Amino acid sequence: MGHIIAIDGPSGAGKSTISKLLAERLGYMYIDTGAMYRTAALLALEAGIPLADGQRVARLCKDLEFSFRVDGDLVHVLCDGRDVTEAIRTHDMGMHASDVSKNPEVREALVALQRALGRKHDAILEGRDIGTVVFPDADVKFFLDASLEERARRRYKELREKGETVSLEEVKETMRKRDINDSQRDIAPLRPAEDAIRVDTTGKDIPTVINELILHIKERIS
């Protein structure tokens, strides 16, 4: 098994940008586990399966093949060869993913895929439960966070750049609900692992955060 770096935290904390860049810098495979929950929600909606029907959604997920292709700033998410990048990155799909992720059967199916993917390479996995559940023995664990205001502003900017017409207030409200949904669910709730390095990204630019993380990684992985 290669080295594993876990990057957890709430939405908008900077996980995706940071994980992608770190993976490129270190030559690690990048695995976006949130994209997997978003894809599960997408496939369920397309198949007309209610998001709360854990067993049927899990059956859809069981043998999926995911890959993540980093292309500059963008990460293409491929699921069984289909590029789902645009379909899963909408404002609504974030909330649907949060809902679908409450099902234990769905988590079990996707965690198995995440472990199988991560074991093949040196990998950076970003998500909510990587350091606590998926890879509790990860070589380095980070928990990124930022104020709700800043996280909402970042997500709002991203969505607007993609042409979505949402208001900042709407984004902030959904994010607040998603934080509650994700941190108060019974299974694998969003919380830092005891041995996670906590990094507050509020007011910090990307290179500053990357440098901070690289220092920790160098200390732990020679």
User: Residues in the site for ligand DC, rule: CB under 6 A?
Assistant: 11, 33-35, 37-38, 94, 97-98, 101, 127-129, 178, 182
**Two structure tokens written together for 218:** 């160098």
In the complex, what is the shortest distance from the CB of residue 48 to ligand DC, in angstroms, rounded to a whole number?
Answer: 21
Nearer to ligand DC, 128 or 141 (CB): 128
Nearer to ligand DC, 54 or 127 (CB): 127
**Two structure tokens written together for 213:** 């993380």
Instruction: Please tell me the distance from the alpha carbon of residue 38 to that of residue 96, in angstroms, as a whole number.
Output: 7
In the complex, what is the shortest distance from the CB of residue 183 to ligand DC, in angstroms, rounded to a whole number?
Answer: 10
In the complex, what is the shortest distance from the CB of residue 128 to ligand DC, in angstroms, rounded to a whole number?
Answer: 4
Nearer to ligand DC, 116 or 215 (CB): 116
Element (H, E) at 6: strand 4-8
In the complex, what is the shortest distance from the CB of residue 222 to ligand DC, in angstroms, rounded to a whole number?
Answer: 28
In the complex, what is the shortest distance from the CB of residue 43 to ligand DC, in angstroms, rounded to a whole number?
Answer: 14
Greatest distance between any 2 Cα atoms in the chain:
49
In the complex, what is the shortest distance from the CB of residue 204 to ligand DC, in angstroms, rounded to a whole number?
Answer: 19
Instruction: Please tell me the distance from the alpha carbon of residue 85 to that of residue 64, in angstroms, as a whole number.
Output: 15
Nearer to ligand DC, 14 or 197 (CB): 14
Instruction: Please tell me the distance from the alpha carbon of residue 35 to that of residue 39, in angstroms, as a whole number.
Output: 6
Nearer to ligand DC, 14 or 127 (CB): 127
Nearest residue to 199 via CA among 7, 5, 27: 7
The alpha carbon of 30 is separated from its chain's Cα centroid by a whole number of angstroms, namely 11
Burial profile 172-208: b = 16 or more Cβ within 10 angstroms, e = fewer: bebbeebbebbeebeebebebbeebbebebeeeeeee
Nearer to ligand DC, 11 or 201 (CB): 11
Identify the residue whose tokens are 């974030």. 94
Phi-psi region of 135 (alpha: psi -120 to 50; beta: other; left: phi over 0): beta
